[in-house]
Chain A
Amino acid sequence: MTETDMEGPRSVLSLRSFGARLGGKGFLEGVDLDVAPGEVVAVVGPNGAGKSTLLRAVVGEIPHEGQKMVQGRVGYMPQRLDFDPSSCATVQDLFVASLSRRPPWLGISRSVREAAGESLERVGAQGLSGNRFGKLSGGERQRVLLALAITPLPDLLLMDEPEAGIDLDGLGLLHHQVGTLCLHCRMGVLLATHSSETLQKVAHRTMQLDRGRVVGLE
C-alpha cells in the first residue's frame, strides 16, 4: 500500500492506477480519479461492479494497490447501519459513540451536544436528537447518517447509495443537502449510486464501473 502526495491541495482525493481486492467478493483495478473541493463525482455500475469496494478501499478498510492521496478528513455515510431496530440507542448516543471517548452512561459533554445539534440542524433533522435510531423512518435515518458523516466537517465525503429506503420527498431533500454541503463547505463528494435522479440532480461528473474496471468517465 502506498500513499503519496501527488496533486497538491487542488484535489481532496487523487487516485492513480488504484486497485483493491475484497476476497472473492469483488475487485477493482486501474482507477485514475481526482475529486476537487466542492465537486460531486458519482460512481455508477451494476451490482458487483466495484462501487462499494472503491469506497471501502478509499476509507482504508481493505488494502489497495497504486496510489491514493486524501487531503484532509474523510467522512463516510453508509447505505445502512448494521443496527438492531429494538436497540434503545438514540441518535444522540450514536453521535456520542462516534465523537467522544466518554461512554454515554457517564454523561454527554456540551461540545458533543453542540456538534450533534449543529450537524442535525444542517441536514434538517434537529428534532431527532433524542429519538431512538431504530424507530426513525427511512428518510430520517439517511439524514441522521449524513449528519453523522459530516461531524466534524470532512474535506471528502464518501456516500454509499444514500437513496436506500427513502421516498421521493426524502430524496429531493437529500439532493438539496448534498448540493448545499458542496457549495458552502467546499466538500468533495464521491457517491456510489444506482439512482438516475441523483446523477442528474447532484453529480458534476460520473465514473462508470463494470466488473472492477473503469468503462467511462464524463
Chain B
Amino acid sequence: MIFHQMLQALSEPLHYGFFRRSLLAVVLLAPMLSMLGCLVVEARMAYFSDAVGHGGLAGIALGALVGIVDPFLSLVTFSVMLALAVVGARRKGALSSDTAIGVFQAAAMAVGVVLLSRGGGFARYSRFLVGDILSIGAHELWRLAAVFAVFLVVWIWIFNRVLVASLGETLAHSRKISPWFTLAVFSVVVAVVVASTIQWLGILVIQALVVLPAATARNLARSMAGLHWIAVAVGTGCSVAGLFASWAWSTASGATMVLFCFGAFLVSLVFRR
C-alpha cells in the first residue's frame, strides 16, 4: 500500500510535459557537472569554477545592456572571457592563482550587481541566483544535449592531459603537453559547462553540484575510474531525487538537489577509504 502510494507520488509530476523536460535536463546536466567536478577537484580548481559561476552575473548584465535577449549567449561568452583572463593573469605571473581568481570574480560580481540593480530592477534577475529548471523549453533542452555531446568529446580528449599538467609543468613539457594551453582549454570547458547550466540550477548552488559528487566519490573510490563513475552515479541519482523532492516539497530544485548530494557526501564519510 505504502509502496503504491509512493509510486503514485513519483509518477504524478511525470504527467506534466514541463516536468518531463526538466527531468531530461537533469539527466544531462548532472553527469556533465559530476564529470567536470572530478578534474576540478583533482586539479584543485574548485575556487575557479565557483568564480566562473558567480562571475556569470556580469555576463547576464552585459548581455542585457547590449540587448542580447538570450542569456545563454552572454553567459557563455562572458564566462569564457573571464576564464581566459584568469589563466592569462596566472601565466604572466602577475598574480597568484587564488588572488587572480579572487580579483576577477570580485570585479565581475560587482559589475553584474551594479548593472542589474540600476533603477531597482534586480528582482527580475533573481531567478538566475536560484535557478529554474522547471521552465526549460524543448529548444533549450536540445541545446543542452548539444553542449553535453561536445563536452564528452572534448572531455575524452583533454582528461589525461589535464591530469598530467596538474602534476607539474616540467613533467608535462617532458610529455610534450603544453600545460598552459591545456589549462586554458580546461578553463574554457569549465566556463562553458557552468555558464550553460547556471540559469537552470542557479548561481548560488551550481558550484555545489560540481564539487559535491566528486568529493563524495573521493571518499569511496580506489582509482580514477572509480572516482569518475561513482561521481556520475551520485550526482545523477541525487539530482533526480532532488528534483522529485523539490516537486513534492515545493522548494527550489537546484538547492534541493544540492541537499541530496550533501546527504550522500555525509554518508560517504562513514565509508571513507
Of A30-38, A78-86, A173-181, the one with at least 4 CB within 8 A of chain B: A78-86
Could you say which residues of chain A place their CB within 8 Å of the CB of B171?
76, 78, 81
Q: Is A158 an interface residue (CB 8 A)?
A: yes
B173–A84 touching, CB < 8 Å = no
Interface string of A84-103 (1 = CB under 8 A from B): 10111110111011101111
B156–A103 touching, CB < 8 Å = yes
A106–B167 touching, CB < 8 Å = no
Interface string of B257-273 (1 = CB under 8 A from A): 00000000000000001
Separation of A55 and B169 alpha carbons in the complex (Å): 12
Q: Is B127 an interface residue (CB 8 A)?
A: no
Known: A56-B170, A61-B170, A81-B168. A90 touches B224 (CB 8 A): yes
B217 smallest CB distance to A (angstroms): 8
B160–A97 touching, CB < 8 Å = yes
Q: How many residues of A contact B (CB 8 A)?
A: 38
A78–B170 touching, CB < 8 Å = yes
Interface string of A128-144 (1 = CB under 8 A from B): 00101000000000000
Please pick, from A81, A88, A100, the residue contacting B160 in the complex, using a CB distance under 8 A.
A100
A59–B229 touching, CB < 8 Å = no
Q: Is A189 an interface residue (CB 8 A)?
A: no
Known: A89-B42, A96-B160. A61 touches B226 (CB 8 A): no
A44 smallest CB distance to B (angstroms): 19
A132–B174 touching, CB < 8 Å = no
Interface string of A57-74 (1 = CB under 8 A from B): 001110000000000001
Q: Is B139 an interface residue (CB 8 A)?
A: no
B175–A88 touching, CB < 8 Å = no
What is the chain B residue whose CB lies nearest that of A106?
A: B156
What are 28 of the A-B contact pairs (CB < 8 Å)?
A61-B173, A76-B170, A76-B171, A78-B167, A78-B170, A81-B167, A82-B166, A88-B221, A89-B223, A89-B224, A90-B222, A93-B223, A93-B225, A96-B160, A96-B224, A97-B160, A98-B160, A98-B164, A101-B157, A103-B159, A103-B160, A103-B228, A104-B225, A104-B228, A105-B159, A105-B224, A132-B222, A149-B174
Residues of A within 8 A of B (CB): 23, 55-56, 59-61, 74-76, 78, 81-84, 86-90, 92-94, 96-98, 100-107, 130, 132, 149, 158, 160
Residues of B within 8 A of A (CB): 42, 44, 93, 155-157, 159-160, 163-164, 166-171, 173-175, 217-218, 221-229, 273
